[in-house]
Amino acid sequence: MILRGVISSHYSLLLLLIGFLVVSSSITRVLSWGVIHVKYKFAGSQRSIVDLKVHDSVRQVRILAGVDLPLGGSGRPDGLGLYYARIGIGTPSKDYYVQVDTGSDIMWVNCIQCKECPRRSSLGIDLTLYNIEDSATGKLVSCDQDFCYAINGGPLTGCTANMSCPYLEIYGDGSSTAGYFVNDIVLYDRVSGDLKTSSANGSVIFGCGATQSGNLGSSNEESLDGILGFGKANSSMISQLASSGKVKNMFAHCLDGVNGGGIFAIGHVVRPKVNMTPLVPNQPHYNVNMTAVQVGHDFLSFTPDIFDSGDRQGVIIDSGTTLAYLPEMVYEPLVSKILSRQPDLKLQTIHDEYTCFQYSKSLDEAFPNVTFHFENSVTLKVYPHEYLFPYNGLWCIGWQNSGMQSRDRKNMTLLGDLVLSNKLVLYDLENQTIGWTEYNCSSSIQVLDERTGTVHLVGSQNISSACHLNAWSITVLILLATLLHFLGC
């Protein structure tokens, strides 16, 4: 959905806007200028199949535009896969609820100057507007600072040393966020023992959202305070913490497709062992090279370059998309082979999108497994009970034809929660690899503390907050291992 704004093309207007907002809010400072607990956004609620379609179609436009892959998903294709985290910002610290995002390269929260930012949410959480004047450690980031140069590819015309560094992102559905960068302390929990954490903090540069529109504005009932970026760029929160020696540039998630929730850990996961495949270089997202698709014992016939389209290469791994999207030349033979196992099925098309049917016996006995093959002999197996989901007494196929979405998406291949649930997925940005293994996401993993060489257990826990939580939900705990030096914490 996101079309990242080329900031220079909109710069004059944005600069005037940000300047007005900063002045009008009487910001008079001299311009010197993890464990994070994660909760399933739609826990306990039943989302319609129409919601599912809208959710994924919006996300695919985002991916095609090169920005924004939110991390999340309950692993249930009949629900919307989004998670949010609670973090602390400022001195004294205040709580903010932000969407965890593997594609965005910045973190941002709504600012006190914002007139169109949401003030309340139907998710049962209290929203907070960030005010730099309330934090003893908050600083504005000026246009002449290295961060501003780096994120914009050089100096911005008209942006001088006594002005705050702006940001702008425009979304394909008409939504947008604009504001300026600030530097403040972000609080999180570090692993201090088996299933234990202690408080830690780090200095992070993030966006202060001065104006929001569309789905980011006050009209969205399921609003959050902002977005927590876990993208690959140097501006992401994890990259900033890694560059300062706080953590290793590695993280992992395990989405529980049975109960919802799971595990999210930053750090060096040593158990379970994970087979890794290289990330495709020079891609904005987590792309990998797929070499084959197997349905049961049969391999589909195609050449690997079917997954490439222009500058976009490989297959996108996206834990925030609910289903899985394949090129037409892969989708059609795959679905045909699956359905050939049960030729007497009476197929129905729901909402012009989903192929569904009635079936009362064991899915795993009646339909074949689907196995994806990647570089370095890494495989990813998807069982029938994972790629078939229930809807109104029917079973619907979770595989989707990306060629049906639009001409631009004809060759897009995107593997979402349908494929990734019940697997530990490890992102090693230091070595530019990604891998996965089947795993019980309700259990625990082992993370190495590289200061001491000790290994600690990390498991899923409930988010704790003042808001009312549905007893059904099982939430995710982001456990941030203290790796490298952890100076001053």
Q: Using CA atoms, how far apart are residues 318 and 73, in angstroms rounded to an integer?
A: 10
The residue behind tokens 């005037």 is 16
Q: Using CA atoms, how far apart are residues 300 and 309, in angstroms rounded to an integer?
A: 20
| Cα-based angle 285, 286, 287 (whole degrees, multiple of 5) | 100
**Residue 39 near residue 475 (C-beta atoms within 8 A):** yes
The residue behind tokens 């780090």 is 202
Q: Using CA atoms, how far apart are residues 454 and 192, in angstroms rounded to an integer?
A: 10
Classify residue 171 by burial, with Cβ atoms within 10 Å: 0-12, 13-18, 19+: buried
Q: Are strands 2-3 and 139-140 parallel, antiparallel or unpaired?
A: unpaired
Q: Using CA atoms, how far apart are residues 296 and 177, in angstroms rounded to an integer?
A: 46
Whether 101 is a known active-site residue: answer: yes
| DSSP tag of 361 | S
Whether 126 is a known active-site residue: answer: no
Q: Using CA atoms, how far apart are residues 272 and 222, in angstroms rounded to an integer?
A: 35
> Which of 68, 101, 105, 225 is an active site residue?
101
Q: Using CA atoms, how far apart are residues 451 and 275, in angstroms rounded to an integer?
A: 25
DSSP string, 427-455: EETTTTEEEEEE--TTSEEEEEETTTTEE
> Which of 225, 318, 417, 428 is an active site residue?
318
Alpha helix locations (H) across 261-342?
Answer: 328-340
Cα-based torsion angle of the residue sequence 74, 76, 80, 86 in order, rounded to the nearest 10 degrees: -10
| DSSP tag of 428 | E
Q: Using CA atoms, how far apart are residues 57 and 400, in angstroms rounded to an integer?
A: 11
Point out the residues that are catalytic: 101, 318
